[in-house]
Structure 1
Amino acid sequence: MPSTALVLLNRPSLAAPAHVDGAPAHRFVEPDEPLVNVLDLGVTRGDGVFETISVGYGSIQALDAHIARFAKSAGILEMPEPDADAWRDAVQAAAAAIDPVDEAYVKTIMTRGIEGDDRPTGWAYAAPALGRATARSEGIRVVLLDRGYRHDVRQTSPWLLQGAKSLSYAVNRAVIREAHRRDADDAVFVSSDGYLLEGSTSNILLRFGDRLVTPGTNLGILAGTTQGDVFDFAVTQGLEVAYELLPIAALHEADAAWLLSSVRHAAPIRAVDGTPKPIDRTFTDALNDFLLHRTK
């Protein structure tokens, strides 16, 4: 079996024609085979959506939640609705095609397609997930960066596409480079009026005693599939959970904090703007054990 696999969809959306009439719903192609047209709007404009889905010990995790968020992002961008069944089959096929490993991921990408055409382009790519253990065990250093928008930007300026997981990730990559310049590993976005938002590619989770809190998705941040599963787990552990409007001071005051994402899972925050923060190692280990062994 190969270490990576790439599946190309023939008809990513039922709202658009197939690329090849009568062809199978998807086909395997070589990952290094040239496939994307230079006029594809995903390349020329970053016009598309994506998801990254964790695979733990062969089990695809939170697949339905990822497919639903994929469709929501496409809707925000006014793209054709992804065919949920076709994408689910493509993800499962890609994940099953690679060498068995403890941790892997499948990335789904749907672009608006070639400029002037009305057919989206879509593929699913599976590969091992490497190099995450250190962040989980030792924690990460974060810096706070102003996103430049008020916390209510989703209501005041919906055309800014806040809350969509789009291919336009230049800003997300730029903040990582800025974090590195500041001797940190990652960044946490804050609103221009002083509220916590999200990480560069993650949701933020705070613990206050027996309560876990995270910013609400009405702030124009991405709804977290991992965060949702963490809340479900926390309830089984007798903890309270809540979505709240959190001022910046809450991060400093919290007993512990994490960045949550599909592949890195729960990375404890060990410093904020250079100020050390305690790590709750026991709960961190419990979170990651739960996340790594999810069966759906």
Structure 2
Amino acid sequence: MKFFEKLMKIDRRIIYLILALVVIVPFLRPFMIHPKAMPPVENLYNYIDSIPPDKALVISVDYTPDTEPELQPMTIALLRHAFARRIKVGVLTLGVLGLGLAENALTQVANEFNQRATTREDSIIYGRDYVFWGWQTPALTVILGMGERISRVFSVDYYGNKTETLPMMQKIKNYNNVGIVVSVSASATPLWYITYGQTSFGIKVGIASTAVQAADMYPYLNSGQATGLLSGMKGGAEYEELVQTRLGITGRRRATEAMAAQTSAHFTIIAFIIIGNIGFFALRRRKK
């Protein structure tokens, strides 16, 4: 019983130290987990995978640096999927702080594919395979304007090129030429695409959100207004797993790496709860 008495009086700072080590060590020496994709993730993957050659995937990078660790891996996984399947990609952001994050993701994934390419046809070429439209405001004007003509909303791209002169934009005029818009966001931005873009033009909408925001998105998923949902780090890791196992696309999987630390922390907390309850009931029985 003395063991349980000491256990119940353990300094909480020791528990915090153990948790800190449990979280830090997997980042230093990561172990790979292989999460099973849940239906909301698999539905989004399958829909993007079926986009016909004459339509594009549009990714709206609607997050800021504070949520980059959770959401940037989703953007990277979406780009890997699209580039591997040779799906045209248009990228924009409804917030100015998303510009650098979008460019970093595009540059990273394009470089990954181009390092493996042996011919021009194998390469990922700006203007032919993807376009970074950049940022415009207000958001409502952007979402509705893209349903009429994208080049009117973004007359020049992020790099200053006239949008209409880019080869990809000769066929991608408006939402009629877009397979789906995926809004990667830490806020209610995906609902703007549903409320205005989908209601007015019938565009399909996919959602990639932080875990804390996902609860607000499930009603739209369950109603069929959202084609699929990536929820938090777990959703990103599941999508990374699908891209690697089904397409053979390798690369650093940041969401999966983070899930290793998260999983270790969860198991440790569960162990503490079990041990604490055993000690509590053992001491209570002794008092009786």
Give TM class, smaller chain: under 0.3
Larger strand fraction of residues: 1
The structure carrying a bigger helix percent of its residues is 2
| Greater RCO, CA 8 A, separation 6+ | 2
Which of 1 and 2 has greater Rg? 2
**TM-score, with structure 1 as normaliser:** 0.26
